[in-house]
């Protein structure tokens, strides 16, 4: 089979969550499958260094267009061009790992991954430009015309059924995996801890959040809950916030700056992928009380690294953590503060969550996800 794949999510300078998903899934697929022919399409007005991508096997082919992105996207929107016209062979299906500007010949079935419907359910968490982008690409139309939709959780499947009226038979839940770098058996873990502690000037004990700095992640609640902790806890544990600046985040930074515990709160910014497992491993507690997530990679990554976690009891988070994370109402600061206090002082309970969390995280495998993806592709061809 000839399978076309949109790899435009990999064209960003720093990998987004969708970029990580695309990279890890395709890496696992290409390890399992050396027979099907894959045509990876991307658009880049400047030369893109293909050495950034590790897939150099005989059945993987790179297809490039060199339009300026705005012109390329406009041409797709006006249906002046079709993506498959750039592929030198007739493709049997097309796979898009995320919503994007899109136009394809009607005879070619396509599979689409929808990670979540946060833009539909919580438009207030996005900028006007982002909301306009989701409107003009026609997300509902793309979902309705797709042959099959892959989602990372049963929660996202329900959302598609409820809000986009997609038949359940057309939606396949394929849980993502976790990169092998998130491992407690890493022989270099002790040395890496020392390196990361020194590189980022981290304190000996800290509570961690990792994710984009944006309203949906509910970071202001974390800061305010931290302020409510007893003095003996805040004297011992700092609050470390890791992640690239997202959008609409002025309130988040202002809350931290004006906090009476401002000297204990540190924003690290975007970190290298190889440092993420070490941050989890060094932290005493990981918090992810997001208002909405289609999956929530940081939670599973933290669990894999033996860190006790607190998660919001919303959307997919109870589903993917399977009772292995301490769940709280993301709208109640006092609930989160109490949970933080309990897990930082009750050693027996903390160890219980560590054990359960690691066991749950071990179930998420990119190899398993890739095998399910290949089975799903075969269904529609």
Instruction: Please give the average per-residue pLDDT across 129-150, as a whole number.
Output: 94
C-alpha distances out from residue 362 to 167, 182, 283, 304, Å: 31, 10, 20, 7
DSSP 8-state secondary structure symbol assigned to residue 48: P
Q: Which residues contact 288 (CB under 8 A, 6 or more apart)?
A: 209, 211, 217, 296, 298, 299, 302, 309, 310, 311, 312, 317
C-alpha distances out from residue 283 to 64, 190, 196, Å: 42, 14, 12
* Predicted local confidence at residue 50, as pLDDT: 62
Let me know: does 69 contact 34? Beta carbons within 8 Å: no
* Predicted local confidence at residue 51, as pLDDT: 61
**Percentage of residues in the chain with pLDDT exceeding 90?**
90
Please give the residue that has the higher pLDDT: either 290 or 53: 290
pTM for this predicted structure: 0.94
DSSP 8-state secondary structure symbol assigned to residue 175: -
Instruction: Please give the average per-residue pLDDT across 238-253, as a whole number.
Output: 95
Q: Which residues contact 340 (CB under 8 A, 6 or more apart)?
A: 207, 225, 226, 229, 233, 285, 287, 310
- Nearest 5°: the CA angle 173, 179, 183 is 125
Q: Which two tokens stand for residue 361?
A: 């995280």
* Predicted local confidence at residue 49, as pLDDT: 62
pLDDT, the chain, mean: 94
Distance CA(186)–CA(275), nearest Å, equals 13
Reported as a single tens digit per residue, the pLDDT across 172-181 is 999 999 999 9
Distance CA(88)–CA(173), nearest Å, equals 32
Is the confidence at residue 26, as pLDDT, over 80? yes
Number of CB atoms found within 10 A of residue 351's CB: 12
Nearest to 296 by CA among 271, 321, 273, 274: 321
| H helix intervals, 84-175 | 118-121, 128-136, 139-145, 154-163
Reported as a single tens digit per residue, the pLDDT across 252-300 is 999 999 999 999 999 999 999 999 999 999 999 999 999 999 999 999 9
Least confident of 48-62, 78-92, 184-198: 48-62
Is the confidence at residue 47, as pLDDT, over 70? no
Is the confidence at residue 48, as pLDDT, over 80? no
Nearest to 181 by CA among 305, 25, 29: 305
Instruction: Please state the φ and ψ torsions of residue 241, each to the nearest 5 degrees.
Output: -115, 115
Reported as a single tens digit per residue, the pLDDT across 300-348 is 999 999 999 999 999 999 999 999 999 999 999 999 999 999 999 999 9
* Predicted local confidence at residue 44, as pLDDT: 80
* Predicted local confidence at residue 54, as pLDDT: 83
Determine if residue 218 is left, alpha or beta; phi over 0 gives left, psi from -120 to 50 gives alpha, anything else beta.
left
Place of tokens 């941050």: 279
Let me know: does 54 contact 23? Beta carbons within 8 Å: no
Q: Which two tokens stand for residue 193?
A: 């801890």
Nearest to 174 by CA among 280, 24, 306, 6: 24
* Burial class of residue 305 in the structure, from the number of CB atoms within 10 Å of its CB (0-12 exposed, 13-18 middle, 19+ buried): buried
Distance CA(61)–CA(81), nearest Å, equals 21
* Predicted local confidence at residue 379, as pLDDT: 83
What is the pLDDT confidence band of residue 30, given thresholds at 50, 70 and 90? very high
Number of CB atoms found within 10 A of residue 362's CB: 12
- Give Cα 212 distance to the centre of its chain: 10
What is the pLDDT confidence band of residue 53, given thresholds at 50, 70 and 90? confident
All structural domains of the chain: 2-177+366-380 (3.40.50.2000), 189-361 (3.40.50.2000)
Angle between helices 250-258 and 219-227 (to 10 degrees): 10
C-alpha distances out from residue 69 to 8, 74, 94, 128, Å: 11, 8, 20, 20
């Amino acid at each position: 089979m000839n399978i076309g794949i949109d790899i435009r999510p990999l064209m960003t300078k720093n990998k987004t969550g969708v970029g990580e998903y695309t990279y890890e899934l395709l890496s696992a697929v290409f390890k399992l499958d050396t027979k099907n022919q894959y045509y990876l399409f991307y658009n880049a007005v400047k030369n893109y260094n293909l050495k950034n991508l590790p897939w150099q096997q005989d059945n993987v082919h790179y297809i490039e267009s060199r339009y300026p992105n705005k012109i390329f996207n406009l041409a797709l929107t006006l249906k002046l061009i079709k993506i498959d016209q750039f592929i030198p062979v007739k493709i049997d299906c097309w796979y898009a790992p995320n919503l994007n500007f899109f136009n394809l010949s009607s005879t070619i079935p396509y599979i689409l991954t929808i990670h979540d419907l946060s833009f539909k359910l919580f438009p207030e968490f996005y900028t006007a430009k982002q909301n306009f982008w989701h409107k003009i690409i026609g997300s509902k139309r793309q979902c309705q015309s797709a042959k099959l939709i892959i989602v990372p959780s049963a929660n996202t499947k329900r959302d598609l059924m409820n809000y986009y009226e997609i038949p359940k038979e057309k939606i396949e839940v394929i849980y993502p995996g976790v990169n092998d770098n998130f491992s407690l058996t890493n022989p270099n873990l002790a040395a890496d801890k020392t390196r990361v502690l020194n590189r980022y000037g981290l304190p000996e004990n800290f509570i961690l959040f990792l994710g984009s700095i944006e309203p949906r992640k509910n970071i202001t609640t974390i800061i305010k809950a931290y302020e409510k902790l007893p003095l003996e806890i805040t004297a011992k544990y700092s609050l470390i916030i890791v992640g690239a600046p997202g959008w609409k985040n002025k309130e988040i930074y202002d809350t931290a700056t004006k906090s009476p515990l401002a000297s204990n709160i540190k924003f690290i910014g975007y970190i290298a992928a190889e440092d993420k497992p070490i941050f989890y491993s060094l932290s005493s507690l990981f918090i992810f009380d997001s208002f909405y997530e289609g999956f929530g990679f940081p939670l599973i990554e933290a669990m894999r690294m033996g860190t006790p976690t607190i998660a919001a009891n919303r959307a997919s988070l109870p589903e993917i953590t399977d009772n292995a994370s301490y769940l709280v109402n993301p709208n109640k600061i006092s609930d989160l503060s109490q949970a933080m206090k309990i897990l930082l002082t009750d050693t027996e309970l903390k160890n219980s969550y560590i054990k359960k969390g690691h066991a749950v995280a071990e179930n998420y495998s990119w190899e398993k996800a890739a095998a399910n993806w290949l089975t799903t592709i075969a269904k529609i061809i």
